[in-house]
Amino acid sequence: MIQYIASIATEGVIFSIMALGLNVIWGWAGDFDIAFYGYVAIGVYMAMVTSIGRLPSPDQYILGWHLPFLVAIVIAMASAALLSLLVGTVALRKLRASYYAITTLATVLVLQIVIGNYTPLFNGYNGLYGLDQPFNDTLKLSPEAYPFFFLGFCTVILVLVYFTLERLSGSPFGRALRAVREQERAAAAFGRNIYRLKLKAYVLGATLGGLGGALFAAYLGAFNPTAWSPIETLLLYAAIFVGGSGNARGVILGVFLVSVVFQEITRFLPNLGGNASFSSAVREILIGILILVTMRYRIQGLLPEPRSKDAVAERVAAKLYAGRGSTAG
Partner 1 sequence: MEKVILGVGFGLVTGAILALSAVAFTLTYAVSNIPNLAHGELLTFGAYAAYATQRFTHNVLVAALVAALTGGVMAWAMNAGLIEPFVRARVKNIAIFIATLGVSLILQNFILLIFGGANLAYVLPASDSHQVGPFIWTGRDEQIMAASFLVMLLLYLMLQYTKFGKSLRAVSESRELARVSGINAHHVVEFTWFLAGVVAGFAGFVLAASIGTLTPSFGFAFLLVTVTAAVAGGLGKPYGALAAALVLGLVMEISAFYIDAAYKLAIAFAMLVVVLLFRPDGLFTSKTGGAFE
Based on the shown chain and the rule CB under 8 A, indicate whether residue 126 belongs to the binding site for partner 1. no
DSSP assignment of 262-306, as one string? IHHHHHTS--GGG-TTHHHHHHHHHHHHHHHHHHHH-TT-SSPPP
- Cα distances (Å, whole numbers) of residue 100 to 93, 229, 245: 10, 18, 18
Based on the shown chain and the rule CB under 8 A, indicate whether residue 62 belongs to the binding site for partner 1. no
Using CA atoms, how far apart are residues 145 and 6, in angstroms rounded to an integer? Answer: 10
Q: Around Cβ 225, how many Cβ atoms within 10 Å?
A: 21
Of the two residues 147 and 250, which places its CB atom closer to partner 1 in the complex?
250
Based on the shown chain and the rule CB under 8 A, indicate whether residue 281 belongs to the binding site for partner 1. yes
Based on the shown chain and the rule CB under 8 A, indicate whether residue 291 belongs to the binding site for partner 1. yes
Of the two residues 281 and 317, which places its CB atom closer to partner 1 in the complex?
281
Based on the shown chain and the rule CB under 8 A, indicate whether residue 185 belongs to the binding site for partner 1. no
Query: 129 φ, ψ to 5°?
Result: -155, 175
Residues contacting 229, CB < 8 A, separation 6+: 37, 112
Beta bridge partners of 129: 222
**Pattern of binders to partner 1 over 228-247, x per CB under 8 A?**
---x--x--x---x------
Residues contacting 122, CB < 8 A, separation 6+: 45, 48, 49, 61, 62, 115, 128
Q: Using the rule CB under 8 A, give the single segment among 59-67, 77-85, 176-184, 272-280 that binds partner 1.
A: 272-280
Of the two residues 143 and 273, which places its CB atom closer to partner 1 in the complex?
273
Of the two residues 99 and 321, which places its CB atom closer to partner 1 in the complex?
99
Based on the shown chain and the rule CB under 8 A, indicate whether residue 93 belongs to the binding site for partner 1. yes
Based on the shown chain and the rule CB under 8 A, indicate whether residue 320 belongs to the binding site for partner 1. no
Binding site for partner 1 (CB under 8 A): 32, 90-91, 93-95, 97-99, 101-103, 105-107, 109-110, 113-114, 116-117, 231, 234, 237, 241, 275-278, 280-282, 284-285, 287-292, 295-296, 299
